[in-house]
Amino acid sequence: MVHKTLRHLGTGVAIAAMLATATAHAADDKLVIVTSFPSDLTDVFKNAFMKENPSISVEVVNKSTSSGVKYLIETAQNNQSDIFWASAPDAFEVLKENSLLAKYESSVGGVASELNGYPINDPDGYYSGFALSGYGFMWNERYMDAYKLPEPTEWEDLAKPVYNGHVGISAPSRSGTTHLTIETILQGEGWEKGWQTIRDISGNAKTITERSFGVPDGVNSGSFGIGIVIDFFGFSSMASGFPVDFRYPSVTALVPANIGVINNAPNSEPAKKFIDFLMSETGQGLLFDPKIMRLPVNKSVYANAPKGLPNPFDGSIKSEVKFDTAVSQGRYNVVNSLFDVMVTYRLEDLRAAVVAIQEAEVALAENGSANAEATKLIAEAKALLHTLPVDEAKANDPEFAAIFKTKRKKQTDKVEGRQAEIEQEWDNQIVQNYQKAAELANTARFMF
């Protein structure tokens, strides 16, 4: 009887051990990825990775870049995520500073470590670049022909009156890639000149889209003719058969899109496997999928690159800007708030001022430029339009930047404390300046 009982106990222990092993195995066979990338990209990699690793179940949690960072910070004490995967390098710097990333450097060969002196991977090993991206504009060729619009070459071209009402852009507070584009212009042209360019272009905007994906969608559909985009939006639309083209202006930067293992990831081994797969020739080759069309960091795969996709390692992309991630990260929320107050939430006032100035300049040109009073009024209007409520030194000041904590996705989002006071001060000044600029320009125009 005792032997029989022991046999039953032995069997029970064995079963319990098997269940424990199975449970542990099941836990290891899961992977949770937090990403800002659309399903068109993530599904390609998820399906290919699971095909190579059928025991690993991949869950994708889609959030915007800023929302993803906030989510990981808020859930750090009970983290259930394994990987963060997004374009913006400054977002990874925020996670790194908050000790939310774990070191992991893939040993996959063929991956470039730098481009034109810019490190592709975090020098400290907390995140890795898996693709390169530049910034520019795409346009719908049929739309351009229909409206007899010339193809733009530089950012400043998009500020010309001929493009008024034909441009689409997203807000940097709603899109990490748009934030990088705005920062590229600011770093390439300087704070004052950069914001002048950004506001002049925005004054020509037909719309500020809710998400960055709305810009290529608008160009593809012909809702507007030209969109300010990250390069792969243009390349993927071209590869998908839309009648569009894309160009890098001279003021652009090539910046890595990144991936990193989250600190205390519950499934760190599958996370490392996924990163190795992403860096492999197989994974990098998937970036050539027509729905993705990103620039790989594994040099060897360019031998099979689709026609028309540039190779950043052969010098074919001329990037003048040496992007400073630390600067971008330090003033991230200041830049977003400034854009929203000056552009997103005052677009109608901005448009009115820009149109008035454009029409006054046309009238002046048509009637000769000898009218000193009209010339003076137009210059005053432009000075008011381009006046900034904060200079670069202040925007870069860590104490001032720390005030801007609330990330607004829409105007009705509540902002409190000192940030609300500053934004209200900015808004009061900007509304007054835009209205006065329009009045001065209209006065000048009606002199003829």
What is the per-residue pLDDT across 220-237, written as a single tens digit (0 to 9) for each? 999 999 999 999 999 999
User: Where do you find CATH 3.40.190.10 in the chain?
Assistant: 29-131+257-304, 133-254
| Contact in structure between 445 and 353 (CB atoms under 8 Å) | no
The whole-number pLDDT of residue 18 equals 44
The whole-number pLDDT of residue 412 equals 57
Mean pLDDT of the chain: 90
Q: Dump pLDDT digits (tens) for 50-66.
A: 999 999 999 999 998 88
| Contact in structure between 201 and 158 (CB atoms under 8 Å) | yes
| Contact in structure between 261 and 272 (CB atoms under 8 Å) | yes
| Contact in structure between 275 and 205 (CB atoms under 8 Å) | no
Question: Looking at 73-87, 104-118, 185-199, which range is the least confident one?
Answer: 104-118
pLDDT interval class at 271 (50, 70, 90): very high
The whole-number pLDDT of residue 442 equals 96
The whole-number pLDDT of residue 407 equals 63
Residue 3 has pLDDT above 50, yes or no: no
Distance, in Å, from the CA atom of 115 to the CA atom of 443, rounded to the nearest integer, reads 51
Share of the chain above pLDDT 70, in %: 91
For residues 243-261, one letter each, b for 16 or more C-beta atoms within 10 angstroms of the residue's C-beta and e for the rest, the string is: bbbbbbbebbbbbbbbbbb
Q: What is the mean pLDDT of residues 410-436?
A: 87
Q: What is the mean pLDDT of residues 8-22?
A: 45
pLDDT interval class at 6 (50, 70, 90): very low
The whole-number pLDDT of residue 448 equals 80
Residue 41 has pLDDT above 50, yes or no: yes
**Under CATH, which architecture does the 29-131+257-304 domain have?**
3-Layer(aba) Sandwich (3.40)
Q: Dump pLDDT digits (tens) for 308-367.
A: 899 999 988 988 898 998 899 899 999 999 999 999 999 999 999 999 999 999 998 888
The whole-number pLDDT of residue 26 equals 43
Beta-strand pair 128-133/205-209: unpaired
Distance, in Å, from the CA atom of 92 to the CA atom of 86, rounded to the nearest integer, reads 8
Amino acid at 397: D
Residue 29 has pLDDT above 90, yes or no: no
Distance, in Å, from the CA atom of 345 to the CA atom of 409, rounded to the nearest integer, reads 11
Nearest alpha-carbon partner for 41 in 219, 212, 262: 212
Q: What pTM was computed for the model?
A: 0.84
What are the two backbone dihedrals, phi and then psi, of residue 309, each rounded to the nearest 5 degrees? -85, 120
Provide the token pair at 447. Answer: 């002199």
Q: Which CATH class is domain 133-254?
A: alpha beta
Amino acid at 191: W
Residue whose structure tokens are 């007899």: 148
Share of the chain above pLDDT 90, in %: 77
Distance, in Å, from the CA atom of 409 to the CA atom of 344, rounded to the nearest integer, reads 10
